[in-house]
């Protein structure tokens, strides 16, 4: 990737970059819509991501380009107007600059910027957090603000997403892209937030099935779930749903509307599943981990209602495959991808069977990715 990045940078800007940073995409392992409710979540950084190269300019221009879209987008440094249409991808690197400023960190005065990605976009693997974190590490490398801690840059990325891009997401995506480690899962207690890692038992494999389906209103639906959760917490008299136990939610059923009860129950039981998953992981008990993953999907399907017929079909078909420990939708839902935790005996042949069954039912083939865990965001020698 680095070679391709240098080459594209040279072709686009006629020069070589001074700074390179890379940040990975992530799998949401378990903990669906728990993050913004103050709960816990487990994720894995994968071995694919976004690379950003930068070279300074003295003329106060920010010039952005990517291998994902044609052309160069040029912005006068300090102009933070949100973009629409074909250049709207720039809202990620631009939002990070706005967030650096909001955090009182130095903002580069002028640069040429090129981003390349080997992360499938729209697959629920959080290419947005990857570009945010890679940009944040590149910018701080350029300004010399290298003391800014990893945790700060994770928060800068989330700030960009919440305030500039405009998605009320939690800390999961940026936290995992920032704190990922090979062969480990990232555990986040979102209230601190506090970041830790848990070893992934040997012999555990990840397979991602991307349906390429996306609900037309996905951002609005995500925001609606966010709102429903906040309202349920208010009715229960707590700041966040993580403040109530599953038993307390059941006891308060009559206070809540039927929908609020379902959303709250999903969140508090999912938090309990995350904690049970950590225990099972530490014991190397992948069979129990798999059952928790499958239970998480079922809860998304029936209580949180952020699944789709396509995701349900994949999760069910995978969970019924002998080499699979468990399967669930990964990410916000309403389309996107299903993740399966498998033994090493699951291979291309088994994946193809699932793809064929899906194609027969839905008339399209999902993309399949056998993902490896990888390290979190970092700067790389240019």
- Residue 181, class by beta-carbon neighbours within 10 Å (0-12 exposed, 13-18 middle, 19+ buried)? middle
* Span from 28-36, 82-90, 235-243, 308-316 in contact with ligand GLA (CB under 6 A): 28-36
Instruction: State which residue, 12 or 307, has the beta carbon closest to ligand GLA.
Output: 307
Q: Name the pairing type of β-strands 205-214 and 335-342.
A: antiparallel
Instruction: State which residue, 172 or 339, has the beta carbon closest to ligand GLA.
Output: 172
Task: Print the binding letters for residues 317-346 with ligand GLA: x by CB under 6 A, - otherwise.
Answer: --------------xx--------------
Q: Name the pairing type of β-strands 111-117 and 61-66.
A: parallel
Interacting residues with ligand GLA between 82 and 101 (CB under 6 A): none
Residue 83 CA to residue 98 CA, distance in Å, equals 13
Interacting residues with ligand GLA between 108 and 167 (CB under 6 A): none
Instruction: State which residue, 35 or 310, has the beta carbon closest to ligand GLA.
Output: 35
C-beta of residue 307 within 8 angstroms of C-beta of residue 329: yes
* Span from 25-33, 70-78, 142-150, 232-240 in contact with ligand GLA (CB under 6 A): 25-33
In a 13 Å sphere around the CA of 77, the CA atoms on its Cβ side amount to 16
Q: Does 39 bind ligand GLA (CB under 6 A)?
A: no
Tokens at 190, concatenated: 């979102």
How would DSSP label each residue in 179-190? Answer: H--TTEEEEEET
Q: Which of 6, 9, 22, 28 binds ligand GLA (CB under 6 A)?
A: 28
Q: Which of 238, 131, 138 is nearest to 174 (CA)?
A: 131
Residue 275's beta-bridge partner residues? none
Q: Which of 8, 33, 263, 266 binds ligand GLA (CB under 6 A)?
A: 33
Residue 197 CA to residue 352 CA, distance in Å, equals 32
Question: Taking the complex as a whole, how short is the minimal distance between the CB of residue 169 and ligand GLA, in angstroms?
Answer: 3
For residue 341, CA distances in Å to 297, 314, 321, 359 come to 13, 13, 11, 21
Q: Which of 12, 17, 32, 55 binds ligand GLA (CB under 6 A)?
A: 32
Of 59, 112, 173, 367, catalytic? 173
Is-catalytic flag, 243?
no
Q: Which of 94, 169, 256, 289 binds ligand GLA (CB under 6 A)?
A: 169
Give me the residues that bind ligand GLA (CB under 6 A), please.
28, 32-33, 35-36, 169-170, 172-173, 331-332
Task: Please give the positions annotated as active site.
Answer: 173
């Amino acid at each position: 990737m680095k070679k391709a990045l240098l080459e594209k940078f040279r072709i686009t800007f006629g020069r070589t970059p001074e700074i390179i940073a890379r940040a990975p995409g992530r799998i949401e392992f378990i903990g669906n819509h728990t993050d913004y409710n103050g709960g816990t979540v487990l994720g894995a950084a994968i071995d694919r991501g976004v690379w950003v190269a930068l070279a300074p300019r003295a003329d106060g221009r920010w010039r952005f380009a990517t291998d994902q879209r044609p052309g160069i987008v040029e912005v006068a440094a300090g102009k933070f107007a949100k973009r629409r249409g074909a250049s709207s991808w720039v809202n990620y690197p631009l939002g990070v600059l706005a967030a650096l400023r909001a955090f009182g960190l130095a903002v580069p005065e002028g640069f040429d910027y090129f981003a390349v990605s080997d992360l499938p976009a729209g697959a629920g693997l959080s290419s947005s957090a990857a570009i945010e974190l890679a940009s944040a590490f590149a910018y701080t490398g350029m300004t010399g603000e290298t003391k800014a801690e990893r945790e700060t840059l994770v928060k800068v990325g989330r700030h960009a997403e919440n305030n500039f891009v405009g998605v009320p997401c939690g800390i999961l995506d940026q936290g995992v892209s920032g704190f990922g480690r090979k062969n480990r899962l990232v555990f986040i207690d979102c209230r601190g937030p506090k970041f830790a890692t848990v070893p992934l038992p040997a012999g555990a494999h990840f397979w991602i099935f991307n349906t390429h389906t996306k609900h037309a209103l996905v951002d609005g639906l995500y925001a609606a779930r966010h709102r429903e959760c906040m309202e349920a917490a208010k009715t229960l008299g707590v700041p966040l749903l993580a403040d109530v136990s599953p038993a307390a939610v059941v006891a308060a059923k009559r206070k809540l509307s039927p929908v609020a009860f379902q959303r709250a129950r999903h969140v508090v039981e999912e938090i309990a599943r995350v904690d049970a998953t950590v225990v099972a992981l530490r014991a190397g008990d992948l069979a129990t981990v798999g059952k928790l993953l499958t239970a998480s999907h079922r809860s998304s399907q029936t209580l949180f209602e952020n699944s789709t017929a396509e995701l349900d079909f994949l999760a069910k078909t995978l969970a019924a495959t002998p080499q699979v420990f468990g399967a669930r939708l990964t990410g916000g839902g309403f389309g996107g991808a299903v993740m399966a935790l498998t033994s090493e005996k699951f291979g291309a042949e088994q994946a193809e069977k699932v793809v064929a069954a899906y194609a027969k039912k839905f008339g399209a083939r999902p993309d399949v990715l056998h993902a490896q865990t990888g390290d979190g965001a970092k700067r790389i020698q240019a």
